[in-house]
């Protein structure tokens, strides 16, 4: 029987060397995107939506970056996201506002108070629960009111607004720090629903006690000053996705995804590549296999559609994308550039996220939020960039 070693020897290589793929996130570009939105804002303040783990890029690091850039109001989806964000932000600057978009979770009122989190009230039932908690605590506590102006997901329905407008005492003991709604079609400036929602929001907030107002999401920031009110709520634009899809992207690109070549095979017609023999070569070809797949968020729908870049040249993805692997044709690339260990760009084009989304038949939001946890992540900021 062989004795097991009592100690583990330190590894000879670092995590970047061990990784099959590297995701680089430029925090300076996130800060720059925030400043770009500040410069075009007619609102006195610009917040930041950092839900879904900072749109897949890391809640704490993204949150700290935006705090240092000037954001003082943050929006997440869930209570747990809020608790994590509070810990990160308080280490830099306490007393920032963190709003929980999914609302008040039943029985969790004490968690909101303990972590200084503001529920976005989405119904009269939530409002009553928060009011009762404030009353029992003998302490007025902050919250936002969400008015549904046509999305029909979350928010006070028109009939609930009618009730609240006629009985404002329902909100006694609650400090309403924000009245908000959410645009459904802001990425299409000509869509009539934008104007309809604007009018409904203006009419709705006029029936309530005066409080700061917020309507504009990322695309809403570009609809015009009348949509800006007191606070902009950009999300995906901060991370480089185009908020004006019918025009050039006004935002800086934030992410770069590079995959290592694991192996290169030379094959000739009529040989095939990958599952289902979906790609057959027509000539002598060099096929490189990369260590990324749909388990990492690189959509299977991109099979034989998307491109990668190596040595300044665009190369096609060939065959089906599998769980852990992608194959690319590097026939036209020199052997000095295309070799095991070389890094191939999968997401680096100037409109990389949006381009990949179009090719996958989805949206940039999904591309970002599905970027996998197996990548080695490199955060660039300041002198390190």
* DSSP alpha helix (H) spans, 13-156: 15-18, 27-39, 51-55, 59-69, 79-90, 109-114, 124-137
SS3 320: coil
Note if 275 is an active site residue.
Answer: yes
Task: Give the whole-angstrom CA distance, residue 251 versus residue 36.
Answer: 8
Task: Give the whole-angstrom CA distance, residue 127 versus residue 3.
Answer: 64
59 and 22 Cβ atoms separated by less than 8 Å = no
| Six token digits for residue 330 | 């590097």
Note if 51 is an active site residue.
Answer: yes
SS3 342: coil
Task: Give the whole-angstrom CA distance, residue 167 versus residue 111.
Answer: 28
240 and 28 Cβ atoms separated by less than 8 Å = no
Task: Give the whole-angstrom CA distance, residue 236 versus residue 243.
Answer: 8
- Kindly state the DSSP code that residue 270 receives in the 8-state scheme: T
Catalytic hit among 51, 112, 227, 260:
51
Q: What is the DSSP string of 144-178?
A: EEEB-SS--SSSB-HHHHHHHHH-GGGGTTEEEEE
64 and 35 Cβ atoms separated by less than 8 Å = no
Task: Give the whole-angstrom CA distance, residue 38 versus residue 375.
Answer: 32
Task: Give the whole-angstrom CA distance, residue 181 versus residue 176.
Answer: 14
Residues assigned a catalytic role: 51, 275
């Amino acid at each position: 029987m062989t004795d097991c070693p009592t100690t583990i020897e330190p590894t000879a290589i670092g995590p970047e060397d061990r990784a099959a793929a590297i995701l680089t996130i430029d925090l300076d570009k996130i800060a720059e995107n925030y400043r770009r939105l500040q410069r075009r804002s007619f609102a006195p303040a610009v917040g930041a939506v950092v839900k879904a783990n900072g749109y897949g890029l890391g809640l704490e690091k993204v949150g700290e970056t935006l705090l240092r850039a000037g954001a003082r109001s943050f929006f997440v989806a869930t209570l747990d996201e809020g608790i994590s964000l509070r810990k990160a932000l308080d280490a830099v600057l306490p007393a920032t506002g963190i709003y929980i978009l999914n609302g008040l979770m039943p029985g969790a009122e004490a968690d909101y108070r303990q972590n200084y989190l503001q529920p976005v009230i989405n119904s009269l039932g939530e409002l009553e629960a928060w009011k009762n908690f404030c009353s029992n605590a003998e302490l007025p506590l902050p919250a936002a009111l969400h008015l549904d102006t046509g999305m029909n997901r979350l928010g006070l329905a028109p009939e609930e607004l009618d009730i609240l407008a006629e009985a404002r005492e329902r909100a006694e003991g609650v400090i309403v720090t924000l009245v908000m709604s959410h645009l459904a079609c802001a990425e299409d400036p000509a869509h009539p629903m934008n104007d309809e929602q604007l009018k409904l929001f203006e009419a709705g907030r006029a029936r309530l006690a005066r409080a700061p107002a917020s309507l504009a999401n990322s695309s809403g920031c570009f609809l015009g000053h009348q949509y800006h009110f007191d606070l902009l709520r950009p999300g995906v634009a901060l991370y480089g996705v185009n908020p004006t899809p019918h025009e050039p992207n006004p935002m800086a690109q934030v992410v770069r995804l590079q995959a290592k070549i694991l192996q290169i095979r030379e094959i000739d017609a009529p040989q095939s590549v990958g599952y289902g023999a979906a790609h057959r070569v027509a000539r002598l070809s060099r096929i490189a296999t990369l260590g990324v797949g749909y388990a990492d968020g690189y959509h299977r729908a991109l099979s034989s559609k998307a491109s990668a870049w190596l040595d300044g040249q665009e190369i096609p993805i060939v065959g089906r994308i599998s769980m852990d692997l992608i194959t690319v044709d590097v026939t036209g690339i020199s052997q000095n550039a295309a070799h095991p260990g070389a890094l191939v760009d999968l997401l680096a084009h100037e409109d990389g996220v949006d381009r990949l989304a179009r090719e996958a038949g989805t949206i940039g939001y999904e591309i970002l939020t599905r970027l996998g946890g197996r990548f080695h992540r490199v955060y660039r900021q300041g002198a390190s960039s």
